[in-house]
Amino acid sequence: MINKFLLKEFGLKIRDLRLKNNLSQEKLSFITGFHRTYIGMIERGERNISLTNIAVFSKAFEMDISDLLNFKNQNPKLSYQDYKFKSDS
């Protein structure tokens, strides 16, 4: 299903950016205004966040939203064909 795969990829991207910026979940929580446990849930792919919250992460990491949603750096072989609709199963 598209949700689990996409949420996992986004979570890995957030965790990778957080670690590259030497930020703890607590520090990122302070910057974004999100609760630390919410950030952890996002990193584990347990939460489907809104576009407005994606924009908050984009601002926190000083990058465009499109760059934040580009998972090719993490998984170069990733393509839109990897995403599946509920009706694809």
Distance CA 29, CA 31 (A): 5
pLDDT for the residue numbered 19: 97
Q: Where are the beta strands (DSSP E) in the chain?
A: none
pLDDT for the residue numbered 4: 80
For each successive 10 residues of the chain (89 residues), what is the average pLDDT?
77 96 98 97 95 97 94 62 59
pLDDT for the residue numbered 41: 97
pLDDT for the residue numbered 6: 83
pLDDT for the residue numbered 76: 59
Structure tokens at 76: 């170069």
Assigned CATH topology for domain 2-80: 434 Repressor (Amino-terminal Domain) (1.10.260)
Delimit the domains of the chain by residue range.
2-80
Q: How many CB atoms lie within 10 A of CB 84?
A: 14
| Nearest CA-CA partner of 21 in 78, 50, 61 | 61
